[in-house]
Amino acid sequence: MADRPLCLVTGGSRGIGAATCRRAAAAGYDIALNYVRDAAAADAIAAEARAMGVEAEAFQADVSKDADIDALFAAVDARFGRPLTHFVCNAGATGKLSRLDEADPKTIRDTIDLNVTGAILTCQAAVKRMSPKHGGKGGSIVIVSSAAARLGSPNEFVWYAASKGAMDSLTLGLARELAGEGIRVNAVTPGMIDTDIHASSGDPGRAARAEKTIPAARVGTADEIASAIMYLLSDDAAYVMGGNIAVTGGR
Ligand code: NAP
């Protein structure tokens, strides 16, 4: 519906992105959710959102690839017929965990292509929809960073930690660049969260093992991250620009 806010979530089929789509749909946003491989999971989230009374559709795209990013945003434009108002830059991966000197260079390149270049290019495409300079109505962008940016992830994936440090710089710079155009840019910094990302890194027990290093003495949930994302997307955060909310259980 034309008067509802329209939110695109990259990596919306599972984990933090899926939890964000659920909360955003419940709050009355129309949802465009992106995935790369798991069409069934993505379609199920879109169906859940539609059952809450909003419009929702899943879009396949590998956001580490320029052509896929262009196609994704064009498909969202065509499907909804109005400019995006909210963007959650969430898709990310760590690659197989190891020390740096044991890592395959391809793992490092793939991680940077997705977590850094893909994130920056998807933010660029979102700005081209949201900025009044391009016919947009303004809006809000939330970038998903990681506590790894300040912990460094030694012996696990320092390249991933570095990629998330880049997200913190992107958030600050883009927030200041766009503040005068009615677009707020902020980040959420998750700590250790219970999602598939740990199994995908090759260590399914990683999150549970880390519990003793977390002051809250437990791993966080995807929904707890989605809660912070929703606050930053919303008008309740109207004066929050270049902010970064740590949701880390004190870690
Ligand atoms: P996840 O459970 O592994 O889910 C990853 C999501 O990203 C899936 O929807 C996946 O789609 C999608 N995706 C992966 N590669 C993609 C690509 N090339 N193009 C488009 N979509 C792609 O991950 P998560 O834990 O929810 O992580 C979400 C974000 O939070 C990431 O940026 C991550 O770095 C960050 N984060 C997570 C944690 C944590 O402990 N979980 C901590 C700090 C930060 P498919 O379903 O199609 O595979």
Q: What is the pLDDT of residues 175-195, one digit of tens each?
A: 999 999 999 999 999 999 999
Tens of pLDDT, residues 36-91: 999 999 999 999 999 999 999 999 999 999 999 999 999 999 999 999 999 999 99
Average pLDDT over residues 191-218: 94
Name the residue among 48, 43, 78 with its Cα closest to residue 60.
Answer: 43
How much distance in Å is there from the Cα of 16 to the middle of ligand 1? Answer: 7
Partners of 87 in beta bridges: 8, 141
Ligand 1, CB cutoff 6 Å, lining residues: 10-17, 34-38, 41, 62-64, 90-93, 114, 144, 146, 190, 192-193, 195-197, 200, 222
How much distance in Å is there from the Cα of 250 to the middle of ligand 1? Answer: 22
CB 251 within 8 A of CB 191: yes
Nearest CA to ligand 1 atom 41: 193
- Cα-based distances in Å from 18 to 25, 47, 88, 176, 184: 11, 12, 11, 29, 22
CB 7 within 8 A of CB 31: yes
At residue 175, the pLDDT reads 98
Nearest CA to ligand 1 atom 39: 193
Question: Count of CB atoms within 10 A of residue 1's CB?
Answer: 11
Average pLDDT over residues 222-251: 98
pLDDT band, very low/low/confident/very high, at 99 (cuts 50, 70, 90): very high
Catalytic residue among 35, 160, 231, 239: 160
Q: Does the predicted TM-score (pTM) go above 0.85? A: yes
How much distance in Å is there from the Cα of 133 to the middle of ligand 1? Answer: 31
How much distance in Å is there from the Cα of 91 to the middle of ligand 1? Answer: 5
Query: Which one of 8, 90, 224 would you pick to mutate in the ligand 1 pocket, going by the greatest count of ligand atoms within 8 A of its CB?
Result: 90
The average confidence (pLDDT) of the chain is 97
The structural domains of the chain, ordered by start, are 6-247 (3.40.50.720)
pLDDT band, very low/low/confident/very high, at 2 (cuts 50, 70, 90): confident
pLDDT at 201 over 90: yes
pLDDT at 1 over 80: no
The CA distance from 154 to 213, in Å, is 14
Query: Which one of 69, 168, 197 would you pick to mutate in the ligand 1 pocket, going by the greatest count of ligand atoms within 8 A of its CB?
Result: 197
Tens of pLDDT, residues 117-164: 999 999 999 999 999 999 999 999 999 999 999 999 999 999 999 999
Using DSSP, state whether 235 is helix, strand or coil.
helix
231 included as an active-site residue: no
Nearest CA to ligand 1 atom 24: 15
Nearest CA to ligand 1 atom 10: 11
pLDDT band, very low/low/confident/very high, at 4 (cuts 50, 70, 90): very high
pLDDT band, very low/low/confident/very high, at 208 (cuts 50, 70, 90): confident
The CA distance from 22 to 49, in Å, is 6
Strands annotated E in the chain: 6-9, 30-35, 56-60, 86-89, 139-144, 183-190, 244-247
Nearest CA to ligand 1 atom 34: 92
Average pLDDT over residues 101-129: 98
The CA distance from 230 to 247, in Å, is 13
